[in-house]
């Protein structure tokens, strides 16, 4: 008996240890998202083969399981803090503008500087790198600003000098002529309104722009695509698929350094061309010149690609040495204002606007927080003035943060691959039978795997809406095994794989 007791004394702890081991093992091996493998960094980009073949086969038949991230994830939370306001957001730091443009595009002098002597010079695009300048003219309060879209201004009063740059959405005769050719019923088309932000994961967008997200989700009824997964590293790798449904390597060479390279407008099937060909007025508005998405590493456009194109303005903003402010005005507010003015100036014509900003978010993971209030207010105004009633509104980012320290964490890697992407259908469309079906599909697709390649297919659906009013094809399940680009307004298969969606293993988060 004593012997037996003695044995149990030895065996029980062993069994206990074994149980603990099994428990711990299970906890670590519970089926969660597979770890993202960082097999190549930005430096290896362009090498072509990245050794992903094997992993690709593994993933080929794998149904996508979208990772759920914690906005306060302990691995990353220490990176985020409230930003210091911009210099020009601090009251009293800068004097009021001596001269400005009002909403009607009329030049106004401030009360304090009524007597200032102001000279103005219009400027315009010659090509993506250079501007042309008109003669110097004197302006006074109440003068119309209609000799172009951009101008530089110098004012003098006593010994003081004050300078600024002006930007107006002056209606383009060419665009108006083009739209006149539309038949009356064709003029009733839905507008496309896209606000894009550089380097904001869904999580960071929610962290830094909470008021904006609240407005989108609670007032506008936007759907945030939780399974939206990038297909490459960097802004062009996001925007090229969004605008052409192809990758840079699938398209003809457009890289600056190569003599045989073509300009983008000569060889890229940009989606805004489809809109232009359908009578839309178009705008592409970035807030950076040197780091322009299509002109830093790529060759840019020979002809101006859209009716309105802010690159011309920002060339001179950058040569003034302004950073995030022009005098007392935050640049993001000017950018939002012009975006609004574009939608107003062409109120009776179909519009396509793609605004993309990088100034605040490209080099800093916290600074973009300074514009939350302004972006939310902008969207609120647009909505309350009815400008979104007949517009699809997309608020999006290209990819998440790419800062080394953040990317060293697992959550950081997942966040980089999962940018913010939200869509709201036009109010007027949502009231139709077809619109109801599209809205239902969009909401269901929010939890499925989607990618930048899906955006052009979706935008073409919007463009073709007036022609196909049948709702039955909006109910048709799309074939993910034969088509890389699927519309988010039609059913997307639940078992769509990264390979089918054109997402290489390296970027696949599920
Ligand atoms: C878009 O326009 C291009 C020509 O710029 C044309 O080749 C293409 O078929 C159009 N796409 C759709 C889906 O209409």
Residue 330 lies in a domain: yes
Shared-domain flag, residues 236 and 342: yes
Shared-domain flag, residues 162 and 200: no
Residue 311 lies in a domain: yes
Count of domains in the chain? 2
Shared-domain flag, residues 158 and 126: yes
Residue 51 Cβ < 6 Å to ligand 1: no
Q: Contacts by 382-389 with C-beta closer than 8 Å and gap 24+? A: 382/193, 382/340, 382/343, 383/219, 383/220, 387/193, 387/340, 387/343, 387/344, 388/193, 388/220, 388/424, 388/426, 388/427, 389/426, 389/427, 389/428
Residue 11 lies in a domain: no
Q: Whose CA is closest to atom 7 on ligand 1?
A: 269
**Looking at ligand 1, which atom is closest to the CA of residue 270?**
5
Ligand 1 midpoint to CA 274 (Å): 6
Dihedral (C-alpha) 389, 334, 272, 316: value to the nearest 10 degrees? 170
Residue 274 Cβ < 6 Å to ligand 1: yes
Shared-domain flag, residues 305 and 377: yes
147, 167, 187: which is the final residue of a domain? 167
User: Which residues lie across from 281 on neighbouring strands?
Assistant: 351
Shared-domain flag, residues 315 and 372: yes
- The 3-state DSSP class for residue 224 equals strand
Ligand 1 midpoint to CA 307 (Å): 19
What is the span of the domain harbouring residue 291?
77-86+173-474
Residue 267 Cβ < 6 Å to ligand 1: no
The closest of 267, 264, 306, 266 to 284, measured between CA atoms, is 306
Task: Ligand 1 pocket test: pick from 243, 274, 458, 485 the residue with the most ligand atoms within 8 Å of its Cβ.
Answer: 274
Q: Whose CA is closest to atom 10 on ligand 1?
A: 274
Residue 21 lies in a domain: no
Shared-domain flag, residues 202 and 296: yes
Shared-domain flag, residues 147 and 230: no
Shared-domain flag, residues 416 and 431: yes
Shared-domain flag, residues 450 and 426: yes
Shared-domain flag, residues 217 and 301: yes
Shared-domain flag, residues 263 and 366: yes
- Cβ pair 116, 157 in contact under 8 A: yes
Residue 404 corresponds to which tokens in the numbers above? 């080394």
Residue 269 Cβ < 6 Å to ligand 1: yes
pTM of the model: 0.88
- Cβ pair 286, 357 in contact under 8 A: yes
135, 167, 199: which is the final residue of a domain? 167
Residue 390 lies in a domain: yes
Q: To 5 degrees, how large is the angle CA 318–CA 323–CA 326? A: 85
Ligand 1 midpoint to CA 271 (Å): 8
How far does the chain reach from its first CA to its final CA, in angstroms? 57
**CATH at residue 333:** 3.40.720.10
Residue-by-residue pLDDT tens, the chain, 510 positions = 444 455 556 666 665 666 555 555 444 444 334 344 433 333 333 333 343 444 444 445 567 889 999 999 999 999 999 999 999 999 999 999 999 999 889 999 999 999 999 999 999 999 999 999 999 999 999 999 999 999 999 999 999 999 999 999 999 999 999 888 877 766 679 999 999 999 999 999 999 999 999 999 999 999 999 999 999 989 999 999 999 999 999 999 999 999 999 999 999 999 999 999 999 999 999 999 999 999 999 999 999 999 999 999 999 999 998 889 999 999 999 999 999 999 999 999 999 999 999 999 999 999 999 999 999 999 999 999 999 999 999 999 999 998 888 999 999 999 999 999 999 999 999 999 999 999 999 999 999 999 999 999 999 999 998 766 666 678 999 999 999 999 999 999 999 999 999 999 999 998
Q: Whose CA is closest to atom 11 on ligand 1?
A: 274
DSSP string, 193-222: EEEEESS-BHHHHHHH-HHHHHIIIIII--
């Amino acid at each position: 008996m004593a012997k037996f007791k003695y044995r149990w004394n030895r065996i029980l702890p062993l069994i206990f240890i074994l149980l603990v081991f099994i428990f711990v093992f299970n906890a670590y091996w519970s089926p969660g998202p597979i770890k993202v493998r960082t097999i190549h960094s930005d430096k290896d980009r362009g090498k072509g083969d990245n050794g992903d073949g094997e992993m690709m086969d593994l993933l080929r038949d794998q149904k996508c399981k979208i990772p759920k991230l914690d906005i306060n994830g302990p691995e990353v939370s220490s990176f985020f803090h409230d930003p210091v306001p911009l210099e020009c957001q601090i009251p009293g730091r800068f004097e009021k503008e001596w001269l400005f443009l009002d909403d009607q595009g009329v030049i106004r002098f401030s009360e304090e500087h009524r007597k200032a002597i102001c000279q103005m010079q219009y400027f315009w695009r010659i090509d993506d790198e250079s501007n042309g300048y008109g003669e110097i003219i004197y302006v006074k309060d109440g003068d119309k600003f209609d000799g172009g879209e951009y101008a530089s201004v110098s004012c003098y009063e006593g010994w003081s000098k004050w300078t600024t740059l002006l930007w107006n959405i002056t209606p383009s005769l060419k665009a108006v002529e083009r739209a006149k050719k539309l038949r009356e019923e064709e003029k009733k088309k839905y507008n496309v309104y896209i606000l894009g932000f550089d380097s904001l994961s869904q999580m960071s967008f929610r962290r830094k722009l909470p008021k904006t997200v609240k407005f989108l989700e609670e007032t506008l009824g936007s759907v945030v695509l939780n399974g939206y997964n990038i297909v490459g590293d960097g802004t062009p790798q996001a925007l090229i698929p969004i605008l052409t449904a192809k990758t840079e390597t699938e398209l003809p060479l457009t890289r600056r350094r190569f003599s045989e390279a073509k300009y983008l407008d000569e060889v890229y099937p940009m989606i805004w061309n489809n809109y232009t060909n359908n009578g839309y007025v178009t705008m592409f508005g970035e807030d950076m010149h040197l780091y322009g998405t299509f002109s830093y590493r790529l060759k840019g456009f020979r002809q101006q690609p859209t009716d309105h194109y802010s690159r011309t303005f920002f060339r001179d903003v950058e040569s003034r040495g302004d950073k995030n402010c022009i005098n007392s005005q935050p640049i993001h507010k000017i950018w939002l204002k012009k975006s609004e003015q574009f939608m107003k100036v062409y109120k009776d014509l179909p519009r396509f606007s793609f605004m993309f900003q990088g100034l605040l978010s490209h080099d800093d993971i916290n600074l973009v927080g300074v514009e939350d209030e302004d972006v939310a207010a902008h969207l609120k105004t647009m909505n309350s003035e009815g400008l979104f009633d007949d517009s699809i509104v997309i608020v999006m980012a290209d990819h998440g943060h790419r800062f080394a320290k953040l990317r060293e964490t697992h959550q950081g890697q997942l966040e980089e691959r999962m940018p913010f992407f939200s869509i709201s259908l036009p109010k007027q469309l949502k009231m139709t039978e077809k619109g109801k079906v599209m809205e239902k599909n969009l909401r269901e697709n929010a939890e499925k795997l989607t990618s930048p390649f899906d955006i052009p297919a979706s935008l073409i659906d919007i463009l073709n809406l007036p022609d196909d009013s049948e709702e039955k094809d909006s109910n048709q399940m799309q074939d993910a095994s034969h088509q890389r680009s699927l519309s988010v307004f039609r059913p997307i298969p639940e078992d769509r794989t990264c390979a089918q969606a054109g997402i290489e293993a390296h970027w696949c988060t599920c």
